[in-house]
Each structure stands twice: as structure tokens, then as C-alpha cells.
Chains A and B, each alone.
Chain A
Amino acid sequence: MEAVDASTSAASPLLPAEDSPDRRDLAFLRFVARRLGTTVLTLFGASVLVFAVLNILPGSPAQVILGTQATPASVRELTIKLGLNQPLPLQYVHWIGGLLSLHLGNSYISGQPIAPELGAALAVTGPLVALGLLFGLAIAVPTGILSALRHRRASGTWLAAATQVGIAIPNFVLGILLIIVVAVDWRLLPASGFIPWSQSVGGALRSLVLPAISLGLVEGAILSRYVRTAILGVMRADYLRTARAKGLPAGRALVRHGVRNASVPVLTVLGLELSGLIIGAVVIEAVFTLPGVGSLLLSSVANRDLITVQDIVMLVATVVVVTNLLVDLLYRIVDPRLEVGG
């Protein structure tokens, strides 16, 4: 480690010659500020795009709410009440202002506030994504390290090939295969539906097991390849050879010097994987008919409840973008050599 830090800081023109903690902190703060700025800009851009796409078409939401039987007068009245007669930029400001103050508005269809419904959905999607991530990591780290350590042997090649196949199986296909085997044939776990947390925590967990496996396996297979590559790269590094030369056994050398270095690229991919998991959850919830955010989004699309669609799309996009921000920051903390990031 020491050897690496010294050589690269000498090569990097951006690091001060003397690695004073103050200057490093300042550089880090500047980095954080810049990344925060781009994140806010990205979210602003995304919100304008989403709003534009969903409001560009003619056709009145008031008409959709009231149905085909409504009189033109009542449609006009509701349009005014919802503020939909205002110019689009004003409607945008109104929507964004609401989101920022956590007022998500009311559903066009049910007239109910969106926030509680979304909260209930999050209580399903959040744990699902977390379990999926855990499961993915539990697969990726051991298989990745093993296939790197055995990369010259047949077993390593087979492991790498198996992860290739794992990547190719879409999560919804895997979900259905799992339902066939585990739920239909063995009758071990429920095939679909969700038992609410308030009713039975064990039941809720049981209904999340198969969805989480379907979600995590594919992401785990992808991540496993990055772990393998990272470990392979570290194994070829000079400092590891030095560590071996001074007498450390291969395994010890890898643990002491390799893991932190290998974790940097893996961490980045983990962030990408997390967004993959969140998006994957939308599909997996449909497979297992879980009442999560994805199901709410899809039913809102089907009902043309555009305000709910708008809110959920923005929520998911925000989570994904903020996740990427956090990973970037973490990346910098793990590897302070990276002066210019983002």
C-alpha cells in the first residue's frame, strides 16, 4: 500500500507535494461540492424531461378522472380546481415545489393522497432491494475471489462460464423458474402475494425470499465478474509480488494488501448494481405480485394516473442518482488517490 501511494502521488500533479491533511480535506470538500452540484443539475434535468413527456400530450386528466359521462362544465371546473389550466411552466413549479416539501399531491384516479400509498409500497420494495443486495453480495464475493484464484485451472473457467450464464438469465425468467420449482413443485414458499409486516414478520419475509433470490442472483453474477477482474488485477500488481517476496503466503498477502485495492472498482459497480436492483424490483414485483413501488407504478400507468406516475418515476430516479453520488463519495474515501472524479 505504502509503495503505491508514494509512487502515484509523485506522478499526480494534483496532489500537493507534501500530503498535508488540510489540503486533502479542502480538495475533498471541493469534490463533494462539485458532485452535489452535478447531482442537483441531473435531477433538475430529469424532472423537466419527465414532466415534459407526461404533459406534452393533449387530453385532459380531468376528463380521465370524471370518465366519459362527465359534462364539459364539470370537466372545466375540475381542470381549474387541479390547476391544470395554468401554463405548463407554472404547473411544473407547482409540482416540483410540492415534491420538495414532500407533498406528493392526490391521485387523479382515487383522489386519495399519494404519499401514504407510496409509503406502504416502500415498506415492500425497500426490504426486497436490501435482501436482493445481500443475496447478490453473498454470491458475488466468494465466487469472484474463487474464480480469480483458480483462473488458470478448469474450475475457475467453469465458474466464470457459470456467471456468464447467470448474467444472461433475466430476473423475471429466473423468478418464474423459481416459482415452478420451489413454489409449485416443492411447495416450500409462496408463489406470489405478500403478507403485510403488521400481520406476520415471518410471513412477510417468506414472501420476499424468492423475489430477492431472483433479483440478487443476476446482479450477483454480474458483480462476481467485477470482483474476479479486480482480484486478478491486484494479483498481478507489483506490491503484491513484493509482499510475496518478503515471505507472506499468497492468501495472507491478498487479504492484507489486495482487498482494499480490489474493493475500489467493485464499489463502483456495486453502485450501478444497486440501481439495477431498484429497477429490477419493478419487474420482479410484477412477477410475484408484490404490492411494492413497481406495482404501484405499473397500475398507475395502466390507469393513466399520470400524476402518480410522475411522482414515482421522479422518486426512483432520485434514489438511483443519489445512490450513484454516495458511491462516488465512498470511492473517494476508499481511494484518496483519485483526485479528479465524477
Chain B
Amino acid sequence: MSLELGLRQAAAPSPFRRLLSRSPSAVFGALVVGGILLVAIVAVFWTPYGPLTVSTGKELLPPSGAHLMGTDEYGRDILSRLMSGTDLTLLSSVGAVLIAGLVGVPAGLLAASRRGVVGEAIMRLADLLYSFPALLAAITLVAAFGASTVTATVAIGVASIPSFARVTRSAALPILASDYVQAARAYGRSPVAILRRHVLPNVAPFIIVQVSLLLSVTVLAVAALSYLGLGTPPPTATWGGMLENAQSYLYQDPLLAVWPGLAIALSVLGFNALGDGLRDLLDPTLRGRA
């Protein structure tokens, strides 16, 4: 995937140890994200039990050899539901980032290369969208179209467009002003060819960092929406939905809430650390800047 590509590019000249000392946060993030991806891939083919399989008489069991994380109030295996929830979380988050990137990156490039009315209009539109909180946008869309995985994904994706547009534009501006782009222009290359051959490859690292940082935001948003009952409807296993469910049993079985909470927090932490670390590797002067 593009994320791994970025890491390998940055890491190529130095062995693992030097990478670890240069950016422990990138290594930590890559490990966590790698682990999550692994779980997601495994969950496509195998989970210990069916995530929707109800078994009477096995309700709210504590963790044991048979059920590593115990069971919920319908006797469903928590580990299986958590694994299957990983798939849905990633699918929704990656979908949202894809929507945001596919619109935001071209919009940012366009705004950078055509600095007149078009560029200004794009950035004002981005400002408008940016000032409108993502969760509020999602709630509005759900109110109109009803709660579903697709609504949640599209809502989060649309709300994330401006951050891509802004990052792309500000990364592309200095490149467009550089000598080699001037040269290419003088040589008679078309603007589209310049964008593709010179600007995009140089902007790509910034976009990769943004993808990772944004994934931490979208994972959180997906979980929040399903927690509020505005995402994928039950009985499908979602991390947020499991958390919401667990809240009714806090007095009997507090562990029930701990597992999905841990999954959400760990994923957000992983993507965030990976993005931060990659940014540090990309530009050491930005180290520590939030």
C-alpha cells in the first residue's frame, strides 16, 4: 500500500535501528498499523466464532480459553466481533479518506496552479467546508439520508476534503515556483504534464503523511458515529456499537466496554504516531510540531 511505500522510501538508506532512533513514533505507528491490517485480513477469512452467532446459556461470560475476551449479552464471542469490526472500521475509514483524497488532491493542485479566480474560489469553498465541523456534517447527512455505513463514510469523507486540498495546495505552491518547473514550462510542457511529472511526485510524501493522520481522525469519527447509532446499524459488529451496547452492562461486566475502547484508542494512536513519525522523517525541522 502507499503507506508502506512511503516508509520504505524514507527508510531505505538506513537500517531499522537508525530509523528507530530517528523516529521511534514512525516505527511504533507502523507496528500498530501493521498489526491492525493483519487482524483485518485474518478476519476476512477467519474469526474464532461467527460475529453474529448467538448462543444461549453463554451470556456475559468472562474471558476464558474458549472465549479469549468473553461473550456479550447474547453470548456472542467478543474477539470475533472485535475482529469483524476491524474490517468495517478500516473499510469505512479508508473509503472516507479515498473520497477526501480523490476530490481534495486534484482540487488542491488546481488551486495551486491556477491562482486567479478559480484557485480563490476553490480555497474559499474549502474554508467554508472546513469551518463546518465534520461530526455536525455527518449528523446532518444522517438526518436526511438515514443511518448506514455508506452515509457515514460519505459524510466523513466529504468533511475531510478541505484538509487534503489545503495540504496539497501548500505543498504544490513552492514546487510550482521552482526552477525546474520554470524550465519545464519554458520547454513547452503542458500544465497537466508538469503537474503529473514534477508536482505530484514531490507532493506525494505530504499526501501520504496526511493520509495517515487523517485515518486516525476517520477511525475516530466512524467509531463515534456508530457509538451514537448514526453509523452501521446493529446487529453488525462495529467498535462504536459494541461500546454503546456495553454501556448497559457496566455494573455487571465492565470489561465488555474495555475491549472496543482499547481497539479504538489503539488504532487512533497507531495511525497518529505513524503520520507524525513520517512527517518527522520527511522534514526534521517540523519535529515536535503538532
* Contact status of A180 and B131, CB under 8 A, knowing A50-B140, A56-B144, A232-B288: no
B136 touches A301 (CB 8 A): no
Closest chain A residue, CB of each to CB of B261: A173
* Contact status of A279 and B269, CB under 8 A, knowing A42-B128, A170-B223: no
Closest chain A residue, CB of each to CB of B271: A168
Residues of B within 8 A of A286 (CB): 227-228
Residues of B within 8 A of A302 (CB): 229
A180 touches B128 (CB 8 A): no
B265 touches A317 (CB 8 A): no
Closest chain A residue, CB of each to CB of B257: A176
* Residues B98-144 near A (CB distance < 8 A): 127-128, 131-133, 135-136, 139-144
- Check A250 for interface membership: any CB of B closer than 8 A: no
Bound CA span A321–B229, Å: 27
B272 touches A168 (CB 8 A): yes
Q: Nearest Cβ in chain B — how far from A266, in angstroms?
A: 11
* Contact status of A283 and B288, CB under 8 A, knowing A173-B265, A176-B243: no
* Contact status of A301 and B230, CB under 8 A, knowing A50-B140, A170-B268, A173-B264: yes
Give which listed residue, A53, A184, A306, contacts B141 with CB less than 8 A.
A53
Bound CA span A42–B143, Å: 22
Q: Nearest Cβ in chain A — how far from B81, in angstroms?
A: 17
Q: Nearest Cβ in chain A — how far from B7, in angstroms?
A: 19
* Residues A169-197 near B (CB distance < 8 A): 169-170, 172-173, 176-177, 179-180, 184, 191
Give which listed residue, B228, B257, B265, B289, contacts A283 with CB less than 8 A.
B228
Bound CA span A286–B225, Å: 11
* Contact status of A170 and B264, CB under 8 A, knowing A56-B144, A57-B144, A184-B254: yes
- Check A329 for interface membership: any CB of B closer than 8 A: no
- Check B182 for interface membership: any CB of A closer than 8 A: no
Bound CA span A29–B144, Å: 41
Bound CA span A306–B246, Å: 30
A164 touches B250 (CB 8 A): no
Residues of A within 8 A of B269 (CB): 164-165, 167-168
Size range of the chain A interface in the assembly = 35 or more
B143 touches A309 (CB 8 A): yes
Closest chain A residue, CB of each to CB of B266: A168
- Check B187 for interface membership: any CB of A closer than 8 A: no
- Check B220 for interface membership: any CB of A closer than 8 A: yes
- Highest count of chain A CB atoms <10 Å: which of B257, B261, B290: B290
- Check A82 for interface membership: any CB of B closer than 8 A: no
- Check A212 for interface membership: any CB of B closer than 8 A: no
Give which listed residue, A54, A169, A229, A324, contacts B265 with CB less than 8 A.
A169
Residues of A within 8 A of B288 (CB): 151, 160, 228-229, 232
Closest chain B residue, CB of each to CB of A305: B143
Bound CA span A297–B246, Å: 23
Q: Nearest Cβ in chain A — how far from B246, in angstroms?
A: 8
Give which listed residue, B131, B135, B250, contacts A184 with CB less than 8 A.
B250
Give which listed residue, B132, B273, B276, contacts A46 with CB less than 8 A.
B132
A279 touches B290 (CB 8 A): no
Bound CA span A232–B289, Å: 10
Which positions in B face A, CB cutoff 8 Å?
A: 25, 127-128, 131-133, 135-136, 139-145, 216, 220, 223-224, 227-230, 243, 246-247, 250-251, 254, 257-258, 261, 264-266, 268-269, 272-273, 276, 288-290
Which positions in A face B, CB cutoff 8 Å?
A: 38, 41-42, 45-46, 49-50, 53-54, 56-57, 151, 160, 164-165, 167-170, 172-173, 176-177, 179-180, 184, 191, 222, 225-226, 228-229, 232, 269, 275, 278-279, 282-283, 286-287, 297-298, 300-302, 304, 306, 309, 313, 316-317, 320-321, 324
29 contacts between A and B (CB under 8 A): A42-B128, A46-B128, A53-B140, A54-B140, A57-B144, A165-B269, A167-B272, A168-B268, A169-B268, A170-B268, A172-B243, A173-B265, A176-B243, A176-B261, A177-B257, A177-B258, A179-B247, A279-B133, A283-B228, A286-B228, A298-B229, A298-B230, A300-B143, A301-B142, A306-B144, A316-B136, A317-B133, A320-B133, A321-B131
Closest 8 CB pairs of A and B: A168-B269, A225-B290, A173-B261, A168-B268, A180-B254, A301-B143, A279-B133, A45-B128
